[in-house]
Amino acid sequence: MDLRSNGPFWLLKHGIIKSYPSLQKNVSTEIAVIGGGISGALTAWHLQQAGFKVLLVDRRHIGMGSTAASTALLQYEIDKPLRELVELRGEKDAIRSYILCLQSISAIKDICNGLKVKKLFTPSPSFQFASYKKDKALLQEEFKWRKKAGIKAEWLEEKEVIDKFGFSKPAGILSATGASLDAYALTHALLSDGQLNGMQVYDHTEIIKIQHRKNGIDLLTADTKKIKARKLIIACGYESQKYVPFKIQEMQSTFAIVSEPLAHQNLWYKNALIWETPTPYLYLRNTEDNRIIIGGKDIPSSDPIKRDKSIPEKSRELEKSFAKLFPSIHFKTDFKWAGSFASTVDGLPYIGAIRQRPHTFFALGFGGNGITFSQIAAQIICDLIKGKDNDDARIFSFNRL
């Protein structure tokens, strides 16, 4: 699958951070992970931290699929508003989903601090505004649900939005917890740390066949090498659909632009993550080198030709949307790209097992919260493999709907 266009900012900024060999011999391991993006890296790292012998493979260079194209906003807010998720999944599971996302932001911060790699994680508030007057009532209902869930947030009326952010919108929710991340660099940091402790990492290693044995899994690579494992984790993101015999995702395309570096450091109120109420929504964040990332303008197609052809037009639309919010900030696009992504009916990821694939677990962090979902998946899968009960696994199971 063609997951992204050429020219994503993170890949151009960092280049190939680290090279990994392809697998050129038959090997055995306790746990094999297919997928070398942020989902696979987080899951593999957590499993190794839990004491398992782990091997990870990817058919591309590590981190060069969707991870390289991620705009990497870390939000507890799910693509489905809490008020809607309550209707779909019930109050208990909906609130628990939001709380798990909130907790995962802190967990990722701790991981980044522990890896001692600078400028991976930047905490910031998160601000969601009502784009139109008609959106205000629903956003107010959303705010009430978040307060009921115990989430720390503040309601801003129009005057307070103007005072804090300098643009006029009917109302908004200012949340204390959010962050921005360098997902591509974090992926390599996790795997580098893993290698220091014995993790095996191979890129340019495509799995062409999976055989389910009574006590484990046999994987065959395109170079006819075999991997024997007790358990298999599939963390291939949107390409994982081919391993599931029923439809679990809807594919779309999204667009992003990055500005040249700006001279002043404080761009708006506490450099908060900013996003709006409509679907698809516009969102923006800054980077550690003082650029602005703007994303959105999604289209309901993942066709790579149509997606990439739309980049110039969508980039202009993103520029215009930013200029309406911040006419005094000169935004000059330095990088632009597009990526394909998947969404689910309830906006939640798929985590766990299906009966058709014994000894196999999926870590599929779909939607706008892919990174926080991946952290949740890593923790749940660790518990399941260790034989430990985890009630949260039920919320994200394949048969939940």
pLDDT at position 3 is 65
Same domain, 255 and 166: yes
Same domain, 145 and 175: yes
Q: Domain count of the chain?
A: 2
Confirm whether 82 is domain-assigned.
no
Among residues 297, 317, 341, which one ends one of the domains? Answer: 341
Q: Which amino acid is at 333?
A: T
pTM of the full predicted structure? 0.94
Confirm whether 222 is domain-assigned.
yes
Same domain, 58 and 190: yes
pLDDT at position 325 is 95
Same domain, 166 and 140: yes
Q: What is the pLDDT of residues 153-186, one digit of tens each?
A: 999 999 999 999 999 999 999 999 999 999 999 9
Same domain, 368 and 277: no
pLDDT at position 374 is 94
CATH number, domain containing residue 221: 3.50.50.60
Confirm whether 18 is domain-assigned.
yes
Could you give the CA distance from residue 280 to residue 57 in angstroms, rounded to a whole number?
33
Same domain, 144 and 261: yes
Same domain, 324 and 377: no
pLDDT at position 342 is 83
Same domain, 276 and 374: no
The structure tokens listed for 289 are: 């080198």
* C-alpha triplet 394, 367, 54: angle, nearest 5°: 65
Same domain, 20 and 168: no
Same domain, 203 and 233: yes
CATH number, domain containing residue 148: 3.30.9.10
> 139 — phi, psi (to 5°)?
-70, -35
Which residue pairs, CB below 8 angstroms and at least 24 apart, start in 133-142? 133/170, 135/170, 135/277, 135/278, 136/170, 136/171, 138/81, 138/83, 138/277, 139/171, 139/172, 139/173, 139/277, 140/171, 141/83, 142/81, 142/82, 142/83, 142/173
Confirm whether 107 is domain-assigned.
no
Same domain, 62 and 139: no
Could you give the CA distance from residue 379 to residue 389 in angstroms, rounded to a whole number?
12
Among residues 341, 360, 381, which one ends one of the domains? Answer: 341
In the chain, which residues have pLDDT < 50? none
Structural domain boundaries, residue 323? 121-180+250-341
Same domain, 22 and 153: no
